[in-house]
Chains A and B, each alone.
Chain A
Amino acid sequence: MATLRELTHREDRLEGGHRLCAGCGASIAVRQILLGAGTDPAIASCATGCLEVSTTIYPYSSWKTPFIHNAFENSAATMSGVEAAFKGLKSAGKIPADKKMKFVAFGGDGGTYDIGLQSLSGAMERGHDMVYVCYDNGAYMNTGIQRSSATPKGAWATTAEVGAAQQGKLEARKDLTSIIAAHNVPYVAQGSISHWKDLTSKAEKAFAIEGPAFINVLATCPRGWRSAYNKSVEHAGLGVKTGYWPLFEVESGVWKLSAPSKALVKKGREPVEEFLKVQGRFRHLLKPENAELLAEIQADVDRHWEYVLGRCGE
């Protein structure tokens, strides 16, 4: 991959001055991913959500690259149309045949795991030469922290409340990365804003490969996580260190554990509690009466970790 020196000289395609919150993981994810696009022109789309409303307040735009927002559930389908136009205009002779361009669609977990899953699945199956990036902060943060199918079990959300009869979200999260891997697309990866080098090299691979690629990025939301805005990167890192969010990639069907997670195989993972306790949305889980639920969450993480290790042949 490009060296740090090279990366620091690349132009940021998401300009500062946007209106995302301090400590927002989404903008970090976008900047790291776009660095991976190299020097080719890149066209970006974004699902409705924080990232979109905070970066495109008319008449301004933080995007220094062509950008399109269509609606909530169709970032993938929209970008598939842009990519089809590129091919169609090449066939028409209106764009030179040797012209190179990158296509990237962004969406949050609500716009990807839930309402946009069909659109994403369709675009991946159709083989468009595009990268889809989900910034997963584990809830509908833009509308006020409602639960999504990416929300971790036990997390408080405004539609999965904590009270005498319920301790946050009852269900386990959906394993979207495996779902997309099952589409047999050329490249699938899981990254985190805490591991910039790993994330940028994954983005480089995703952009370099011809055909559809998907990257799921753990991205902190201090508002929704009820966490310290100046520790976002560290907090996402705890997701990796605890094995809650294994870093891996699937290249042409071959699963491979990424270095930061691979190091944990020998060194051991930290308890999931370390990831949970820095987030106010899990506060109730640390109460003695919820010890059983906490153990269940740890068991879920262990099981998923073993599953990923198994797929990666570790």
Chain B
Amino acid sequence: MPTQTTVASTGNTVVAEAMRQCAPDVVAAYPITPQTTIVEEFAKFVAQGKVHTEYVCTESEHSAMSACIGASAAGARVMTATASQGLALMWEELYIASGMRLPIVMANANRALSAPINIHCDHSDIMGARDAGWIVLFAETAQEAYDNTIMATRIAEDPEVLLPAMSCLDGFITTHSIDRVQVMDDESVSEFVGDYEPQNALLDVDNPVSHGNFAGLGGPYFEFKKAQRLAIDRSKAVIGRVGEAYSELSGRSFGFIETDMMDDAEVAIVVIGSSAGNARHVAKQMRAEGVKAGLVKVRCFRPFPAAELAEALKGAKAVAVLDRSETFGAEGGPLYTETRSALYDLETRVPIVNYVYGLGGSDVRLELMRSVYTDLSDIATGAAEPSGLQYLGAR
């Protein structure tokens, strides 16, 4: 069993620690708030000689991901981190990383997208890149950010998967707050992630290969994209296995979704990231007041856990999905539309409503969570009709 040390640390610090323990051959990154302390911490490891990593401080996020792609295609274990505008600037490269089947691991410190400029938390950045072919894991706490980063490395590099993976943590809330975290010893992490065995590496000069070929002119572009879809479908089993192995090793559970008090829940909130804490706290209060409240936290967004959500929510009388991003012109936020779709095949229709909340770091106070459960109770008892998209806490 691993030796675990309990530390008081920010999310970013333990993400950098997890990166060090995964021993990447290359980190190519560009600083951006609120990711900065990850790359700063890592720069210290480089200066102190604690890593063998070649650390490339690029002139932009676009070049950071471009260099990651070159390094990964060359056969290196590659990691990076970004946030917000940086992720948006990488957008073109995100699709190329997954299209070239390169298992790059990236931390994303979730932050709002401009305009207007705002440096605080919401999920607009990753939700704008949710379909880029990356595996996407979310953390509620610094502990989960640490754990996800380690698991992401093994998942991405699995020969059955070979896709890039993102470990998302909420800007400032999780990246900068000091939290209680259990950190494993280096050897256990190293053994868990294993050695990366690259396929078709550029640096294998005796077996020259061309990467990024032209597949137009009636070429197999379509088939490549289908293969990518099959790979992310296959990743589900791998994520499940890696999650189990990690739970066994660390003693901390991992699921595509994590449920609280859902066994007999009549009203339920579905949420991603740090806000799950407040939702859980209020759900417990509601329980004490006789309301059968429950909580579903989504920890893996891609691949989307549709079956797991349907199973968890099938007995509920009213469900609220909380989206920390706006999807202008859509039926609702991305978590809402996909959760609603996941419930479509249930025999009994579950009333489901959508709240957009916390944009640009807007506070997600306990009374807001309480108002959601109260609304749900009204819907569950028939006192109110499910309404359309609502803004939680917007003035």
Give A contacts to B, CB under 8 Å.
41, 43, 45, 52-53, 56-59, 61, 63-71, 73-74, 77-82, 84-89, 91-92, 94-95, 101, 118-119, 121-123, 125-126
Contacts and interface: CB of A to CB of B under 8 A. Distances in A.
B208 A67 contact: yes
B66 A78 contact: yes
B67 A78 contact: yes
Nearest to B97: A70
A122 B76 contact: no
Given A53-B216, A74-B93, A82-B203, 18 more contacts: A64-B208, A65-B205, A69-B211, A70-B70, A74-B62, A74-B66, A77-B63, A81-B74, A84-B28, A84-B54, A85-B203, A86-B74, A91-B25, A91-B52, A118-B63, A122-B58, A122-B63, A126-B58
Given A58-B213, A87-B54, A43 B202 contact: yes
B210 A68 contact: yes
B59 A82 contact: no
A123 B56 CA distance: 10
A59 B220 CA distance: 9
B138 to A, nearest CB: 27
A123 B74 CA distance: 17
Contacts of B69: 70, 78, 81
Interface in B192-240: 202-205, 208-217, 219-220
B67 A77 contact: yes
A56 B71 contact: no
B80 to A, nearest CB: 10
23 contacts: A43-B203, A53-B216, A57-B217, A58-B219, A65-B205, A68-B202, A70-B69, A77-B67, A78-B67, A82-B202, A84-B76, A85-B26, A85-B71, A85-B72, A85-B202, A86-B74, A86-B203, A88-B26, A88-B71, A91-B52, A94-B25, A101-B203, A119-B60
A81 B212 contact: no
Given A82-B74, A88-B52, A56 B62 contact: no
Contact of B71 (A41, A61, A82, A94): A82
A81 B217 CA distance: 30
Contacts of A58: 213-215, 219-220
Contact of A61 (B57, B78, B96, B213): B213
B205 A56 contact: no
A21 to B, nearest CB: 16
Contacts of B54: 84-85, 87-88, 91
B57 A126 contact: yes
A296 B89 CA distance: 41
A66 B202 contact: yes
Interface in B1-33: 23-26, 28
A81 B70 contact: yes
B153 to A, nearest CB: 15
Interface residues on B, range: 35 or more
B279 to A, nearest CB: 41
A125 B210 CA distance: 27
A45 B211 CA distance: 9
A118 B92 CA distance: 16
A82 B214 contact: no
B75 interface: yes
A86 B75 CA distance: 9
B62 A73 contact: yes
B62 A119 contact: yes
A84 B72 CA distance: 10
Nearest to A52: B214
B53 interface: yes
Contact of B214 (A56, A87, A121, A125): A56
A89 B213 contact: no
B142 interface: no
B151 interface: no
A71 B93 contact: yes
Nearest to B53: A88
Contact of A81 (B59, B66, B215, B220): B66
Contacts of A86: 74, 203
Given A67-B210, A122-B58, A80 B67 contact: yes
Contacts of B76: 84-85, 88-89
A164 to B, nearest CB: 38
Contact of B212 (A70, A84, A87, A89): A70
Given A70-B66, A73-B62, A77-B66, A84 B71 contact: yes
Contacts of A61: 210, 213
A52 B213 CA distance: 8
Contacts of A53: 214, 216
B73 interface: yes
B205 A78 contact: no
Given A82-B74, A85-B54, A74 B210 contact: no
B71 A81 contact: yes
A78 B212 CA distance: 12
Pick from B25, B71, B74, B205 the residue with the most CB of A within 10 Å.
B74
A125 B59 CA distance: 9
Given A64-B208, A85-B71, A118 B59 contact: yes
Contacts of B25: 85, 88-89, 91-92, 94
Contacts of A63: 208, 210
